[in-house]
């Protein structure tokens, strides 16, 4: 049995992984899908101080509460920022990382520095609170505003990911405009330490290419 910890992207809760989690559990794996502070069903906790560090702490607390010692961390989109930092701080509890059309930051990078100008315009179109980034029209109807500070804050990393058993990047082919993850995909597919996959589907691969995504995750689970 593998313990998968699924971390959602901006504006989404752990429910965005419901179908994926069900498929993995059917194969005998344990799945945790936390919702990050200030988002979705935890939107009532959104305030100006919720940032990337808050979300890193959310996932570290999840690992501790469930006594996870060999997690496969899976991060979608913004969730890649979170799982990278968690793996850096709790390396002894992490087996592998899977980035689903996600940011893969290096020390000092942020979503702001890694994304496209189009995405930056979205980040700065904050809601009336001044610190919530509203969901985009094509997001799930349950999506809520996302903490702006978490998208702006640089990640702080002390080590690297070389000690992990596997590092995987899954790229979504069907962005309607320039994909903010294209440069990361090109960088990683040239790195022999990474395995990369390019799937037919839009950014929400959990919905658009469920079967291939399940296949990839089950392969990662094999020791």
Q: Any idea which residues carry the catalytic annotation?
A: 77
Percent composition of the chain: helix, strand, coil (DSSP 3-state, to 5): 40, 15, 45
Both tokens assigned to 216: 């990839």
Residues in the chain: 223
Asked if 52 and 156 count as a contact pair (C-beta separation under 8 A), the reply is: no
Q: Report the run of H or E that residue 3 belongs to, with start and end.
A: strand 3-7
Beta bridge partners of 96: 72, 166
CB atoms within 10 A of CB 67: 8
Compute the Cα dihedral for 34, 136, 98, 215 and give only its sign. Answer: positive
User: Phi/psi class of residue 67: alpha, beta or left (left: φ > 0; alpha: ψ in -120 to 50)?
Assistant: left
Closest to 33 in 3D by CA, of 1, 71, 87, 89? 71
CB atoms within 10 A of CB 166: 16
- From residue 8, alpha-carbon distances to 51, 78, 190 in Å are 15, 7, 26
Instruction: Provide CB contacts within 8 A for 215, sequence distance 6+.
Output: none
């Amino acid at each position: 049995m593998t313990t998968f910890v699924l971390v959602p992207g901006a504006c989404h809760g752990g429910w965005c992984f419901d179908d994926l989690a069900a498929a993995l559990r059917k194969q005998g794996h344990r799945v945790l899908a936390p919702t990050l502070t200030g988002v979705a069903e935890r939107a009532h906790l959104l305030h100006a101080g919720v940032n990337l560090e808050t979300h890193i702490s959310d996932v570290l607390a999840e690992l501790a509460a469930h006594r996870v010692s060999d997690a496969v961390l899976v991060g979608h989109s913004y969730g890649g920022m979170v799982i990278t930092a968690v793996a850096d701080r709790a390396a002894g509890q992490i087996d592998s990382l899977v980035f689903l059309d996600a940011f893969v930051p290096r020390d000092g990078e942020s979503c702001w520095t890694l994304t496209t100008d189009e995405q930056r315009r979205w980040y700065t179109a904050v809601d009336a609170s001044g610190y919530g980034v509203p969901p985009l029209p094509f997001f799930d109807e349950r999506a809520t505003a996302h903490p702006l500070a978490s998208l702006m804050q640089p990640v702080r990393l002390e080590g690297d990911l070389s000690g992990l058993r596997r590092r995987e990047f899954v790229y979504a082919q069907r962005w309607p405009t320039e994909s903010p993850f294209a440069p990361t995909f090109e960088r990683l597919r040239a790195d022999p330490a990474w395995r990369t996959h390019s799937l037919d589907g839009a950014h929400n691969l959990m919905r658009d290419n469920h079967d291939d995504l399940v296949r990839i995750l089950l392969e990662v689970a094999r020791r």
